[in-house]
RNA sequence: GGGUCGUUAGCUCAGGUGGUUAGAGCGCAUCCCUGAUAAGGAUGAGGUCCCUGGUUCGAGUCCAGGACGACCCA
């Protein structure tokens, strides 16, 4: 009868995991973990909502592994971790996905198709991907509360977003302005930077130099310039923007000159004289850019009247001297820099081109023409007026629309902004309260971003998103921001039975666009502005919106129960995404950080170190590895391989490595335990001896285990995942390769004695504790151990390992002598194996002994109790300490640099040389006689005390010796006839054991053995017959000279080129 | 163009506050162990610690400049 379920060594981890998933589902384990007693209160985790517009890739799996680790850990440590799932459902990425499906190329297609239906398709798409995300999240054991997941498109969520916007509105932080965006006039849509980056092409544009005639008095720069024939020379590649020119910009620090050319004076940067071919002309004046500020010039065109002062020189650091003339023409409608300059100098906003790329009617000469087509006509006009200095063509990289290949234009769109610049100080102050892991993100990437924060461009000219809740009066321009559905209903007076059922009331476009009311000021019609908002605002609103705050669950936020978060974690690309929007909204609305600890993950790269992306097609499918190696292997790889914030090169081989390093050895230890516990019918619930009565090795592994618990908790509390995982690996190595290895013999003993029972109890307790310790890391294998080791014996135990308490370190577990001694023994054994290797004498051959040499006076006493283990492990008869070290070692003396360096300074090097050139033995003799060493240096005598010297022992040439620091081990290589016979008998045992294994005999199967072999093996085997019989479980053992290899049950083997015949017959019923 | 991180063995990565023998795992070679082992152990080969300069008695480590790579932002 077996108490423990057999643990095959040919085991499929993925299959085991599938069974455990079923078990979790059947028993509803996650739900049960949520209602566990939580004496330590809440640990708040925010799930950063994935945008459900594509399949998850390995990077997402990493994020989800980390996001699972801490909630599991904290739950087991007595916290309640609510962890609502969430999905980011709005936004351009989703729209593009649907546009692709429907084969759309422009916004017109969407409007023809119908916004309502288009939005419905967006929702369908999101739902579809959400299923895939749930499937993989579930498979890797990422526990989240999907039952109560938040979706950013729901009425509840959206209402909170409106409420938040209203709070920000009430603070006067929302305004309308212009945003320069890359824009395709054919598709009628702005493009995101990602789209722009897809289609840069080399293109030919006009390269023209134009003269702007100066109106101001230039006399102060020289009398020659007073005559009115002085011009600014300006370069541009977009003649059509000249229609919208309102200023010229110079670099205030650069040097400008006026040159005389063809009867006129031209002003440009000195550095660009040669590039414009004016370097031969006489320079009549020179000035700083700053001197030119405010100088007025005649506008080239006056089709559009300006309502503010314009057409003068401004200064700006962005003006470079790399090409052109060092004087830049400014058209605020058509460039980011230009727009900023316009704001800073309060310039008028002139826009001579409409949204379709055509010249506006006011420009009577070219009204209705496409801007590009107007280029040449404008050129001709300037030429006729004598204002064109030179024209050529110019080849440069320029972005084109990735859909229709039209050249993009940078166009100033009316947009709504949040004035985040006015809360910059608060953003920075709240950032101080966040613990960033790694630290540099907080001060670097994130902190610097906050310092240079710009106003948040909030609106988007799109369809599938949270509508901007701002209504404007068509007559007087009065604005109103809506903060709740009730308010909207009162104003707009629509019918809805249920404001939270989208069948009855859908706050999305197009319905919301139809709601209007009379302006309170003038009686005009209040209409909604047409925009939706940036979907990043949605995700940043999740701390509040996931609870429909403040309309419901007001207390969760106000009491601090679910705000701010204790922990969030996403990849580094979220720095300016979710990390920022969470922070900005929380700061503006609550003047608080939104999260206390933020673990920033590196990006997962492909095998060549490049970011995985859909467009390059190097995205690995995580399912392959999960199906083949299992989720635990995947998880362990991410958690142990490298620091999570360092980008990791991902490959299946790497996952296999981590499987072999951790999961397989652990499985083997478990399987070993099960084999012997079943043979001996071990009952874990039986009485265990107190630790004080157990063996050294048992107490030692418990000490190491206790240290492990301490280390894992310390590291996890600091969010140091890799360190925690590595300490687990190191412990497993000690458990498997020292504790189990050294304990095996105890389990092999035939009778059931205390020593054996102590071993079972110890290994059992360690394995059970270990399973809890690793359960946040590898939840499946941990569960397997719990189910097989604990549940059958302790009916009252939690039904899942994830419902048990996390191990706590036990301060009373400490035996410094034991720990030091065993560690030293390990060190000696390592040296012994190394020495045996050098001597090429295998461990099976017993040797007389080892001689240890050290100048550590404590070591012999420390090691005394552990000589038995050393002898056994190294297969030697004695461990001796050398009385006279000189026979085995030489001495090497070096300065103790850490002490002598600061004291001697420059002399250090000379002392080093003197020590190296003096015979070490003499120095040692001097030291033992006088207590110090005196050296004659060029700068006088130097006296060195023992602590100033680093005395090392080194092995003499030609001995089978190995050294580790100041411990040297010498192997006695002489093999006496007795040792030789013993060695041969062990060879024989090995052959029989190999046979047992080949024949797949049960571990306890008794056998009958006959053998036939020549000398010298024969007499060795006969001499040690009793031992051989005992070791191989042979109840009948003897020589049979008549064996022949054709006979049944007779096998051949070889010992040192000598053929051995062995007849092996299992004994029935024994 | 600005910012952040990185560059250490064939590969993947460790190397608080500077201290003279730079480590681990994988891979390779040789050997050992195996009555838990798809395992494990040992030894070996394999390093201009990206380059240049500086600080220092002493630099993989600190400073400056540069090269290359990745990412973010213009």
Chain A residues 553 to 582 whose Cβ lies within 7 Å of strand B are 572-573, 575-576
The CA distance from A223 to A500, in Å, is: 77
Residue A163 appears among annotated catalytic residues: no
| pLDDT for the residue numbered A960 | 64
Over residues A42-67, the mean pLDDT reads 85
Does residue A83 come out as left (phi exceeding 0), alpha (psi in the -120 to 50 range) or beta? left
Buried b (16+ CB within 10 A) or exposed e, A834-846: bbbeeeebebebb
Element (H, E) at A1045: none
From the candidates A107, A611, A877, A956, give the one annotated as an active-site residue. Answer: A611
| pLDDT for the residue numbered A783 | 94
The 10s digit of each residue's pLDDT in A327-351 is: 888 888 887 778 878 877 888 888 8
Smallest Cα–Cα separation from A844: which of A696, A993, A740?
A: A993
| A306 contacts: CB under 8 Å, gap ≥ 6 | A246, A348, A350
Name the DSSP letter for residue A609: S
Over residues A904-927, the mean pLDDT reads 78
Q: Which residue's C-alpha is at the least distance from the C1' of B1?
A: A318
A283 and A257 in contact (C-beta within 8 Å)? yes
The partner residues of A526 in beta bridges, in order of sequence, read A473, A517
A927 touches strand B (CB under 7 A): no
Residue with the bigger pLDDT between A617 and A1002: it is A1002
Residue A271 appears among annotated catalytic residues: no
Highest mean pLDDT among A302-316, A768-782, A961-975: A768-782
From the candidates A112, A253, A518, A614, give the one annotated as an active-site residue. Answer: A614
The 10s digit of each residue's pLDDT in A1045-1062 is: 777 778 877 777 778 888
Neighbours of A466 (CB within 10 A): 29
The 10s digit of each residue's pLDDT in A641-668 is: 777 877 776 777 778 877 878 888 888 8
A842 touches strand B (CB under 7 A): yes
A667 touches strand B (CB under 7 A): yes
| pLDDT for the residue numbered A168 | 95
Smallest Cα–Cα separation from A583: which of A685, A464, A434?
A: A434
The CA distance from A444 to A89, in Å, is: 31
Residue A1010 appears among annotated catalytic residues: no
| pLDDT for the residue numbered A71 | 95
| A768 contacts: CB under 8 Å, gap ≥ 6 | A785, A786, A789, A790
Give this prediction's pTM.
0.82
A737 touches strand B (CB under 7 A): yes
The 10s digit of each residue's pLDDT in A32-48 is: 999 999 999 999 999 98
| pLDDT for the residue numbered A466 | 93
Highest mean pLDDT among A219-228, A805-814, A952-961, A981-990: A805-814
Over residues A80-106, the mean pLDDT reads 85
Residue with the bigger pLDDT between A1049 and A778: it is A778
A767 and A673 in contact (C-beta within 8 Å)? yes
Does residue A605 sit in helix, strand or coil?
Answer: strand
Q: Which nucleotide is nearest to A7 (CA to C1')?
A: B36
| pLDDT for the residue numbered A1048 | 78
| CA/C1' separation A720–B16 (Å) | 15
Note the strand B nucleotides within 7 A of protein beta carbons. Answer: 3-6, 12-14, 19-21, 25-26, 31-43, 56-58, 69-74
Element (H, E) at A693: none
What is Dmax (Cα atoms) for chain A? 131
Confidence band (pLDDT; 50, 70, 90) for A1?
A: very low
Smallest Cα–Cα separation from A700: which of A763, A647, A640?
A: A763
The CA distance from A165 to A160, in Å, is: 9
The partner residues of A467 in beta bridges, in order of sequence, read A532
Confidence band (pLDDT; 50, 70, 90) for A750?
A: low
The CA distance from A176 to A458, in Å, is: 10
Residue A77 has pLDDT above 90, yes or no: yes
Inter-helix orientation angle A696-717/A58-76, to 10°: 110
Residue A574 appears among annotated catalytic residues: yes
Neighbours of A922 (CB within 10 A): 10
A257 and A290 in contact (C-beta within 8 Å)? no
From the candidates A24, A56, A71, A88, give the one annotated as an active-site residue. Answer: A88
| pLDDT for the residue numbered A778 | 92
In total, chain A counts a number of residues equal to 1070
Over residues A997-1020, the mean pLDDT reads 80
The 10s digit of each residue's pLDDT in A273-312 is: 777 777 788 888 888 888 888 888 888 888 888 888 888 8
Written as one string, the DSSP assignment of A489-550 is: HHHH----S-TT-TTT---STTGGGG--EE-TTTS-EEEE-S-EE-HHHHHHTHHHHTTTTT
> Strand A604-605 relative to strand A648-649: parallel, antiparallel, unpaired?
parallel
Alpha helix stretches (DSSP H) within A45-106 = 58-76, 92-102
The CA distance from A767 to A743, in Å, is: 15
A996 touches strand B (CB under 7 A): yes
Q: Which regions of A229-347 does DSSP assign to beta strands (E)? A: 230-236, 247-250, 255-261, 264-269, 283-288, 312-315, 327-330
The partner residues of A248 in beta bridges, in order of sequence, read A313, A329
**Cis before A550 (ω within 30):** yes
Q: Which nucleotide is nearest to A835 (CA to C1')?
A: B42
The 10s digit of each residue's pLDDT in A429-453 is: 898 888 888 877 777 778 877 887 8
Smallest Cα–Cα separation from A944: which of A957, A954, A934, A958?
A: A934
Buried b (16+ CB within 10 A) or exposed e, A868-894: ebbbebbbbbebeeeeebeebbebebe
The CA distance from A779 to A9, in Å, is: 20
Residue A30 has pLDDT above 90, yes or no: yes
Of A211-220, A238-247, A402-411, A555-564, the poorest mean pLDDT is in: A402-411
The 10s digit of each residue's pLDDT in A377-401 is: 888 888 888 888 888 776 666 777 7
**Cis before A348 (ω within 30):** no
Residue A578 appears among annotated catalytic residues: yes
């Amino acid at each position: 009868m077996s108490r423990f379920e057999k643990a095959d060594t040919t085991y499929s981890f993925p299959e085991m995991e599938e069974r455990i998933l079923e078990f979790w589902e059947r028993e509803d384990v996650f739900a049960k973990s949520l209602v566990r007693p939580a004496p330590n209160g809440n640990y708040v985790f925010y799930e950063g909502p994935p945008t459900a517009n594509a399949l998850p890739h390995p990077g997402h799996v990493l994020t989800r592994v980390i996001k699972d680790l801490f909630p599991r850990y904290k739950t087991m440590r007595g916290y309640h971790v609510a962890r609502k799932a969430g999905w980011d459902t709005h936004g351009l990425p989703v729209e593009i996905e649907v546009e692709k499906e429907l084969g759309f190329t422009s916004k017109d297609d969407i409007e023809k198709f119908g916004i309502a239906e288009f939005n419905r398709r967006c929702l369908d798409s999101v739902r579809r991907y959400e299923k895939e995300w749930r499937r993989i999240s579930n498979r890797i054991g990422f526990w989240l509360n999907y039952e109560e997941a938040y979706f950013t498109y729901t009425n509840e969520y959206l209402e909170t977003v409106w409420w938040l916007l209203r709070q920000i509105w009430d603070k006067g932080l929302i305004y309308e302005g212009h945003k320069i965006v890359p824009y395709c006039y054919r598709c009628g849509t702005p493009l995101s930077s990602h789209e722009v980056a897809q289609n840069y092409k080399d293109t030919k544009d006009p390269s023209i130099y134009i003269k702007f005639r100066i109106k101001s008095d230039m006399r102060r720069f020289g009398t020659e310039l007073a005559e009115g024939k002085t011009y600014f020379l300006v370069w541009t590649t977009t003649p059509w923007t000249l229609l919208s020119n309102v200023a010229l910009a110079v670099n205030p620090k650069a040097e400008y000159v006026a040159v005389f050319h063809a009867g006129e004076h031209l002003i440009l940067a000195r550095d660009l004289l040669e590039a414009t071919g004016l370097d031969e002309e006489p320079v009549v004046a020179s000035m700083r850019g700053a001197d030119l500020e405010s100088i007025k010039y005649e506008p080239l065109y006056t089709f559009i009247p300006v309502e503010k002062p314009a057409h003068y020189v401004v200064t700006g650091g962005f003006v470079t001297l790399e090409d052109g003339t060092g004087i830049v023409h400014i058209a605020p409608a058509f460039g980011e820099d230009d727009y900023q300059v316009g704001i800073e100098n309060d310039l008028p906003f002139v826009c001579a081109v409409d949204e379709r790329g055509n010249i506006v009617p006011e420009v009577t000469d070219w009204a209705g023409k496409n801007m590009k087509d107007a280029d040449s006509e404008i050129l001709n006009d300037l030429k006729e007026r004598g204002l064109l200095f030179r024209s050529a063509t110019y080849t440069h990289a320029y972005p084109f629309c990735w859909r229709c290949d039209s050249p993009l234009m940078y166009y100033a769109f009316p947009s709504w902004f949040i004035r985040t610049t006015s809360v910059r100080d608060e953003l920075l102050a709240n950032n101080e309260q966040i613990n960033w892991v790694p630290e540099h993100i907080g001060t670097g990437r994130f902190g610097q971003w906050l310092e240079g924060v710009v106003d948040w461009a909030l609106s988007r000219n799109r369809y599938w998103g949270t509508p901007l809740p701002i209504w404007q009066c068509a007559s007087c321009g009065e604005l109103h921001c809506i903060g709740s559905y009730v308010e909207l209903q009162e104003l707009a007076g629509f019918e809805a039975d249920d404001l939270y059922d989208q069948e009855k009331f859908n706050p999305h476009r197009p319905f919301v666009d139809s709601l209007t009311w009379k302006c309170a000021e003038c009686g005009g019609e209040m209409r909604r502005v047409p925009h939706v908002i940036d979907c990043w605002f949605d995700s940043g609103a999740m701390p509040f919106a996931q609870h429909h705050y403040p309309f419901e669950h007001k207390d969760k936020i106000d009491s601090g129960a679910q705000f701010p978060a204790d922990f969030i974690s996403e990849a580094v690309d979220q720095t300016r995404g979710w990390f920022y929007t969470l922070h900005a909204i929380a700061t503006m609305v609550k003047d608080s950080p939104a999260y206390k600890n933020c673990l920033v993950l590196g990006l997962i790269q492909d095998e060549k170190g490049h970011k995985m992306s859909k467009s390059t097609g190097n995205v690995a499918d995580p399912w392959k590895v999960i199906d083949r190696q299992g989720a635990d292997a995947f998880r362990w790889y991410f958690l142990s391989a490298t620091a999570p914030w360092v980008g990791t090169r991902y490959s299946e081989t790497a996952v296999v490595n981590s499987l072999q390093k951790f999961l397989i050895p652990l499985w083997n230890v478990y399987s070993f335990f099960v084999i012997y516990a079943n043979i001996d019918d071990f009952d874990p619930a039986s009485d265990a001896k107190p630790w004080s009565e157990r063996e050294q090795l048992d107490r030692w592994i418990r000490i190491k285990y206790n240290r492990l618990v301490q280390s894992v908790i310390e590291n996890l509390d600091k969010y140091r995942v890799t360190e925690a995982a590595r300490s687990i690996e190191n412990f497993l190595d000690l458990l498997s390769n020292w504790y189990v290895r050294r304990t095996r013999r105890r389990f092999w003993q035939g009778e059931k004695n205390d020593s054996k029972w102590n071993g079972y109890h110890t290994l059992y307790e360690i394995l059970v504790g270990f399973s809890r310790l690793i359960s946040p890391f590898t939840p499946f294998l941990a569960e397997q151990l719990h189910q097989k080791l604990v549940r059958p014996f302790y009916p009252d135990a939690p039904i899942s390992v994830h419902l048990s308490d996390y191990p706590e370190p036990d301060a009373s577990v400490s035996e410094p002598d034991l720990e030091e001694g065993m560690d030293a023994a390990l060190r000696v054994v390592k040296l012994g194996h190394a020495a045996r290797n050098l001597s090429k004498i295998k461990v099976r051959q017993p040797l007389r002994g080892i001689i240890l040499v050290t100048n550590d006076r404590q070591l012999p006493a420390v090691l005394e109790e552990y000589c038995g283990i050393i002898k056994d492990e190294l297969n030697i008869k004695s461990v001796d300490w050398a009385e006279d070290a000189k026979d085995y070692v030489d001495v090497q003396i070096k300065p103790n640099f850490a002490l002598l360096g600061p004291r001697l300074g420059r002399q250090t090097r000379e002392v080093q040389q003197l020590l190296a050139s003096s015979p070490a033995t003499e120095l040692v003799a001097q030291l033992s006689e006088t207590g110090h060493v005196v050296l004659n240096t060029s700068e006088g005598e130097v006296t060195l005390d023992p602590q100033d010297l680093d005395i090392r022992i080194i092995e003499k040439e030609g001995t089978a010796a190995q050294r580790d620091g100041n411990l040297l081990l010498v192997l006695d290589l002489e093999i006496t006839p007795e040792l030789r016979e013993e060695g041969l008998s062990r060879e024989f045992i090995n052959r029989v054991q190999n046979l047992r294994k080949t024949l797949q005999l049960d571990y306890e199967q008794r056998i009958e053995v006959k053998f036939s072999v020549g000398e010298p093996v024969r007499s060795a085997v006969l001499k040690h017959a009793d031992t051989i019989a005992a070791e191989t479980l042979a109840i009948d053992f003897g020589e049979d000279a008549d064996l022949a290899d054709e006979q049944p049950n007779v096998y051949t083997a070889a010992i040192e080129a000598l053929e051995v015949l062995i007849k092996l017959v299992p004994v029935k019923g024994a």
